[in-house]
Structures are given as C-alpha cells and as structure tokens.
A and B are shown apart, each in its own frame.
Chain A
Amino acid sequence: MTGKWSGRRGAGGAQRTPLPAGAPGASRRGVLRGGLAAGLLAPLAGCGSVADLGGGGPDGTTVRFWNLFSGADGAKLSTMIDAVQQEVPGLGIDATVLAWGSPYYTKLAMSSAGGRAPEMAVLHLSRLAGYAPGGLLDPWDLDLLAEFGVTEQDFPAAAWQRAQHDGQLYAVPMDTHPFILFYNRDVAGRAGLLGPDGELLPLTSPEAFLDAGRAMAAATGATGVAYGYQVDTGQALRLFLSFYGQLAGELDLSGDTVGIDRAAAEEVVDFAHRMLDGEIADPTASYPAALSTFNAGRAGMILSGEWELPGFQEAGFPLGATPFPALFGRPRGYADSHSFVLPHQDVVDEDRRRATHRAAAGLLKQTLTWARAGHIPAYKPVLQEPGYAELEPQTSYASAAETAVYDPAAWFTGAGSTFQDQVSQALIRGFSGAASPRAAVDDVVERIDAMLRIPDPEA
C-alpha cells in the first residue's frame, strides 16, 4: 500500500506546497452552504428526525400507532382510522405496520425499553404477561377512558380479566378472535347434518364429531374435516388448548413445573389422532393445504381461526360457523384478543396521552368494520348495533368470546412465541401418530418445564 501511494504522489508533489495565508473570508456561497449543512444536521442536535424539519412532525395530538395488520385486517384498520380522524377534528393517527409475530414484538419491547416508544400499539392479550410486569407498558387511565365512553361493563369478562396486571388496566381489548368451526352448508346438507333451521346440528361428544366427519367425508368423496397443523407454529396448540380447556381447564405455569392433567392431555392427543385418520381428516395437511381443501369443497368442516373468514367468503360456497364444538363437556375454545396498549415512554406528554385515550375509544367504536374481517368486537355496544346483526356468519359464533381460553399466562407465552412453536412441535408428533399420546404429552411437559427453568427476565 505504502509503495503504491507514495510512489505516485511523492514524485509529483516534491515541491513545497505554499501555505495559504489567513483563513478564507466568509463568502456568500460559504454561508449558503453552511446554512444548508446546518439544516441537514439540525436533527442531530435534538432527538427528532429529518421528517420533523418540514414542520409536519408529530404535534400534541398526533398519535403514533404501531400495529401488525396487513391484508384484509390492514385494509379494515385503515378504514377505521380514517373514520376516527374524520370524527375527531385535530386528532391525527399515524399508523405504522410491522411484520407479524416475533419481529413485531421484539421491536415493540426494544422501543419501550428505549423510552421513545410510539404513543399506542397493538398487542395480543396473550402477550401481556411478557410486557406489563417488565415495565415495558404504561397503564391506561380509567377515568380518561370513561370520559370517552369506555368502561369495564363494555367488555367480555374473559378479555377484561386478561388485560389486568397488578390491579391496573394495561390493555384495552379490541376484539376476541377465537378458534372456531366453519362448515360448508352444501356438504353438511348432503351428509344429513343440518337441523330444521338450516344450521349444523350440535356436536356434543367425540364420537358424534367423528361420525359427522365420516358422513361429510362420504359426502365430499374426499375428507370430512380440514385441519392444517403440520409444520405450523401454533395450530396444534390451538386445538389442544381448546379441548383441554373443556376437559380440565387451564395449564398452570405459576410453579417450577407445569401443572397439567396428564390423563386429560393424553385424551386430547388421542382424539386428535383418531380424527386425523386419513378418512375424516388428512394427517399430512399444512395450514395452507387445509384452507384450499376446505375452499375447494373437499372437506365439509374446518377447524380454524375466524380470521380466515374473508378468504372463505371469497370462495363463494354457502358458509356456516359455530363456536368451537364442545365435545368434552363445557364449551371452551382457544382464543386471543388484539388490544391497544401504551408502550412505556420516559417522558409523557399529557396532551398526547389524552389524545391516545381518545383514539383508542374512537377505534373501539369503529369495530363494526373490524367485525367484517371476522373478529368479534370486544366493545360490546357494537354487538348491539343493527349492522352487526346482519353479519352472517359472524353472529353465529359471537358467543365464543365468553368461553375463550387464552394461552396460559407466563412471560414466554403468547401469539407467535417460542412457547406456541415448541409445544406445537411436540403435539404434531402425537397428532400425526409419530409418537404415542403418552410420549407426546411427556414431550410437551418436558418442553414447558425447560422454559419454566429459564429465569424470568422480568422478575
């Protein structure tokens, strides 16, 4: 390196370079250039962004709002935001969409830890235990919410309960999105499973469900039940928690090892395996494969999240829905809720926080739009609106919000978490028959216990 540069430059530059005397006077161009540089560098002095330079930056009534909705959900949310901004003059909602799942939740936590978080964000209620105890969220002001017409009575008990931490409200539930049963009315009719009202006859025992599945398989000439779970990071857990909830309640993660009713757990795994026998349901189905099977009429029912509703409606067959079938006693079904939270800010601007409460209340009142994407609005006054009664099949599973089973609460659980992934991987082997129910449950217990051994980073 040295040789090259000095060899070339040294020869040419051997004569003495005269030193210019005195500093160059401040020319007009210099001043101009300095001004431009200062303008560009101004944000470096403060904490703002170059975006603030034009004066269009966030003022006291702009609520920066992070969410993870794209596709049908994203379009619906945009409509709702527009409506709220029209309704409340001067209120701005600046929405940012981040990639669903772990990337979103990691960024949210890092932003809260950094202290300059956005005013409001969407959080799955199942994730609350990973955020509130660590001080990553600020609590909502109940009085302010009440001022904008939002109180405890407006929400289903299950969701409201789950939104609390340490006696304070840390999340305002926006919806409940349960795991439910969709069915194809044509297929169900051909299988003789429709009641006089045109709805699916109630399925109240494991055998009844399997028989119905066989009847539908005969009607489609393919399979009866669509259920996609292979290589998926959540589906197996959703089914498991639903039936386990009916049999035994919730998994207990408060101790050093998981509190689980093994007999009940094995019964659920065994049942799933019997359903996935190749006749009633395809044991090799992945999530997208199950969707296309159901859409193509090659299955009469699908066990699925209600968030798939818009896709099913597009497929164009007569669609029915019920809450998750109560085959093992009391009605229970896996669900989660989207909610609004206040990411922790080191410096809180009171005006802006007030605007945030107002924005949350405004969005809740727009959730009839949200319901069109399949979700059950958590804000119950919306359910009374005439517009909601017209939503079919949404109304037929609205009751699922009251029988919701969430992920067991722990810092490592929730939507898109490694907990869901890990437990699902163990269950998949049991469901498909690669492992016996006992071995699968052993594996589940082992994996959960391993997570419980990790010191809680929020403690």
Chain B
Amino acid sequence: MATTTTSVPRRRRPARPDAQRSALGPGHRTLPRALGFAALLALAALWLLPLLWGLVTALKSEAQAASLPVRWFPQAGGFTLDSFRTVLTSSNLPLWLLNSVLVAVVVTAVTVLISAMAAYGFSRTVFRGREWLYALTIAAIMVPPQILIVPLFRQMLSLGLVDTYWGIILPQLVAPAMVFVLKGFFDGIPVELEEAARMDGAGAFRVFWQIVMPLSRSVLAAVSIFVFISAWNNFLWPFIVVNDPDLMTMPVGLATVKNAFGVTFAADMAGATIAALPLLVIFMLFQRQIIRGVATTGLGGQ
C-alpha cells in the first residue's frame, strides 16, 4: 500500500499549456478534439440522464408518473411539487436527515481528531511497541468492516448500545487508512518548526495542536471530506444496529420504512431527490476541494 502514495500530483499544474498536456499529445487539435468532444458529451449525457429522470419523476403527480406511454413532460396538469410536500409532511425524512447530520458530523470530527493524534504519535514519537502497533494498524486496513457485522452486533447487545446513536457512531470511528494517510503527511513536515516551538516551552500536545494541525489544514480537509462522505452515505452498519425509525439515518430510513399506501413512484423520487440534495449542493460549491480530497485520500489509503 505504501507504494501507492507517490502517484498523487506533487504540485498544482500550471494552468495553461492544456493542449500540450492532453493525453492524445500535442498537435491534434481539431478533428480528434471534435470527436473527443462528441464522445464526452454523449458519455456525460448518459451519466446525467438518470439523475434528470429521477428529478422529472419527482416533479410529476403519481398518476402522471404511472401513466403510459412513458413521457418526460407530463401531458396534463404540468409539473407539481405535490410529491415533495407529501414526503416532507408525511414521512420521517427530515428527521432522518437530521440524524445523518448528527452522526456524520460527530464521526468526522472525532475520527479526524483521533486519527491525526495517532498519526502524529506514530510519526514523531517513540514509545515501546510503537512500530508493532503501527504495523497492526496498517494490517487492519485489509479488514473489510462488513465482515464484522455479526460480532459487532452481538457486542452492541452486551453494551446496551443497539438502537442508540453511540451504537451507530462508535464502530465508524476506526479509520486505520486515515491514520496511514495522515502519518505520511506528518512525516514530510520539517521537524525544525516543532523544535522551535518546543524551545519556546510548548508541550507536546500544544505543539501538535498549534503548529502541526494548522500546517496540515489541506490534508485534514481532504481526510475530513473523505470521512464525511463515507459516514453520510454509510448504509450497512447503521442498518444493522438501528431498528427504531426515529434513530435511523437517511439511507437506512429511506430503504427500510415504507408508507402505508403502497407503491408511489413520484414520492419515492421526491424523497430520493431531497436525500441526494445536501451533498450535491456542497459538491457544486466546493468541487475543487472535494475532488482533490477524494482523489488524494482515495489513493493514499482505502
């Protein structure tokens, strides 16, 4: 795994010599570019169509959604927000979103903090068993958490944590891959800065908190983004440990709880749209940061 890290771009590339850097090489600017553009357009359309179809369905009435022939634009009555109204008033979706926010925020904050501390400990200090513990951490990256659902559930039963927020949160705090990514970063920070601070009389934790953490803002942001997306979209574990509909996170509630009135395509799509929106909006606002965060963290760990 360690070998994977170097493939991340070292520096932001100079902005301009775009055509030069094209994968097809220089010199082929007209015909291949036109063909490339067409292919890109087709592929992007293919990828966007499902999203649009979901949105269009959400904006129809149930009758329009279930009418044949299949139409993009409803014939009678036009688009309506009824399905959104139904979902927001008669389902628990707002509550599930709130639960998701709570869980994802706590998981992200705590995971990033303890992973950064651990990475710093592994990177900068020596204590008995350090290398051994770090090796164990790295080895644990190979353990797929999904295989632990049975023992973890049993464990949560004995801890009395089934159907609690802590039951959802605690197992998600373990992120050995993030420790690996952060340690790699800390290893590269020149140690002189810390020494200077220490000469000013700062203790180890203060050095970590006031020197190292601010210097690491970019990697911390990358790791936070990665952890947040995983926690926000996590399904399996919250699905296992929570049965109480009031405690469900959004992906679990949406998949588990049905409405009393049978199949409702438009309402399903309205719910899906609302559930998808928060992260999509954040993505549109912070595309550059999120893409960099996911790419670097994804390549460094997992």
How many residue pairs bridge A and B at CB < 8 Å? 147
Closest Cβ of chain B: how far from A72's Cβ, in Å?
8
B197: chain A residues at CB < 8 Å are 16-17, 19
A74: chain B residues at CB < 8 Å are 259-262
Q: Is B151 an interface residue (CB 8 A)?
A: no
The answer to whether A114 and B193 touch (CB under 8 A), given A1-B184, A5-B185, A70-B262, is no
Task: Evaluate contact between A115 and B219: CB separation under 8 angstroms.
Answer: no
Give Cα A41 to B245, complex, Å: 19
Among A2, A20, A111, the residue within 8 A (CB) of B244 is A111
Count chain B residues whose beta carbon lies closer than 8 angstroms to a beta carbon of A: 58
Give Cα A120 to B165, complex, Å: 23
A44: chain B residues at CB < 8 Å are 102, 106, 165-166, 169
A16: chain B residues at CB < 8 Å are 193, 196-197
Highest count of chain B CB atoms <10 Å: which of A9, A20, A72, A75: A9
Give Cα A97 to B153, complex, Å: 23
The answer to whether A70 and B259 touch (CB under 8 A), given A4-B11, A10-B189, is yes
Task: Evaluate contact between A6 and B190: CB separation under 8 angstroms.
Answer: yes
Q: Is A29 an interface residue (CB 8 A)?
A: no
Q: Is A55 an interface residue (CB 8 A)?
A: no
The answer to whether A98 and B102 touch (CB under 8 A), given A4-B9, A5-B185, is no
Residues A48-103 near B (CB distance < 8 A): 49-52, 57, 69-72, 74-75, 77-78, 95-99, 103
A380: chain B residues at CB < 8 Å are none
The answer to whether A98 and B296 touch (CB under 8 A), given A6-B190, A17-B214, is no
Closest Cβ of chain B: how far from A315's Cβ, in Å?
17
The answer to whether A115 and B160 touch (CB under 8 A), given A6-B190, A8-B218, A49-B95, is yes
| Smallest CB gap from A3: residue in B | B10
The answer to whether A19 and B185 touch (CB under 8 A), given A4-B296, A40-B102, A75-B260, is no
The answer to whether A2 and B187 touch (CB under 8 A), given A49-B246, A51-B95, A103-B256, is yes
Q: Is B188 an interface residue (CB 8 A)?
A: yes
Q: Is B5 an interface residue (CB 8 A)?
A: yes
Task: Evaluate contact between B98 and A50: CB separation under 8 angstroms.
Answer: yes
Closest Cβ of chain A: how far from B283's Cβ, in Å?
22
Q: Is A352 an interface residue (CB 8 A)?
A: no
Mark contacts of B226-263 with chain A using CB atoms, 8 A cut-off: 1 yes-contact digit, 0 otherwise: 00000000000000100111110000000011111111
B6: chain A residues at CB < 8 Å are 1, 3
B300: chain A residues at CB < 8 Å are 1
Task: Evaluate contact between A6 and B163: CB separation under 8 angstroms.
Answer: no
| Smallest CB gap from A346: residue in B | B160
The answer to whether A98 and B258 touch (CB under 8 A), given A10-B190, A20-B210, A49-B247, is yes
Q: Is A13 an interface residue (CB 8 A)?
A: yes
Q: Is B181 an interface residue (CB 8 A)?
A: yes
Among A2, A19, A95, the residue within 8 A (CB) of B206 is A19
Mark contacts of B103-120 with chain A using CB atoms, 8 A cut-off: 1 yes-contact digit, 0 otherwise: 000100000000000000
Give Cα A421 to B166, complex, Å: 37
Q: Is A438 an interface residue (CB 8 A)?
A: no
| Smallest CB gap from A111: residue in B | B243
| Smallest CB gap from A1: residue in B | B5
Task: Evaluate contact between B189 and A7: CB separation under 8 angstroms.
Answer: no
Closest Cβ of chain B: how far from A104's Cβ, in Å?
9
Give Cα A393 to B20, complex, Å: 80
Among B157, B196, B245, B296, the residue within 8 A (CB) of A96 is B245
Closest Cβ of chain B: how far from A318's Cβ, in Å?
26
| Smallest CB gap from B299: residue in A | A1
Give Cα A51 to B98, complex, Å: 9
Q: Is A190 an interface residue (CB 8 A)?
A: no
Task: Evaluate contact between A78 and B260: CB separation under 8 angstroms.
Answer: yes
Highest count of chain B CB atoms <10 Å: which of A10, A20, A110, A114: A114
A111: chain B residues at CB < 8 Å are 163, 243-244
| Smallest CB gap from B5: residue in A | A1
B296: chain A residues at CB < 8 Å are 1, 4
Q: Is B273 an interface residue (CB 8 A)?
A: no
Task: Evaluate contact between B210 and A71: CB separation under 8 angstroms.
Answer: no
Q: Is B99 an interface residue (CB 8 A)?
A: yes
Task: Evaluate contact between A50 and B256: CB separation under 8 angstroms.
Answer: no
Residues B142-169 near A (CB distance < 8 A): 153, 156-157, 160, 162-166, 169
Give Cα A41 to B165, complex, Å: 10
Highest count of chain A CB atoms <10 Å: which of B9, B11, B262: B262
| Smallest CB gap from A117: residue in B | B243
Among B95, B163, B165, B256, the residue within 8 A (CB) of A116 is B163
A95: chain B residues at CB < 8 Å are 260
Closest Cβ of chain B: how far from A195's Cβ, in Å?
37
Give Cα A111 to B256, complex, Å: 13
Residues A1-38 near B (CB distance < 8 A): 1-10, 13-14, 16-17, 19-20
Q: Is B202 an interface residue (CB 8 A)?
A: yes
Apart from A7-B188, A44-B106, A49-B165, 10 more pairs, CB < 8 Å: A1-B296, A4-B11, A6-B189, A41-B102, A71-B263, A95-B260, A110-B153, A116-B163, A116-B244, A346-B160
10 closest Cβ pairs, A-B complex:
A6-B188, A114-B162, A74-B260, A2-B188, A111-B243, A1-B5, A49-B246, A71-B262, A116-B163, A51-B246
Query: What are 9 A-B residue pairs whose CB atoms fall within 8 Å in the complex?
Result: A1-B5, A1-B300, A4-B10, A10-B188, A52-B246, A71-B262, A110-B153, A113-B157, A115-B162
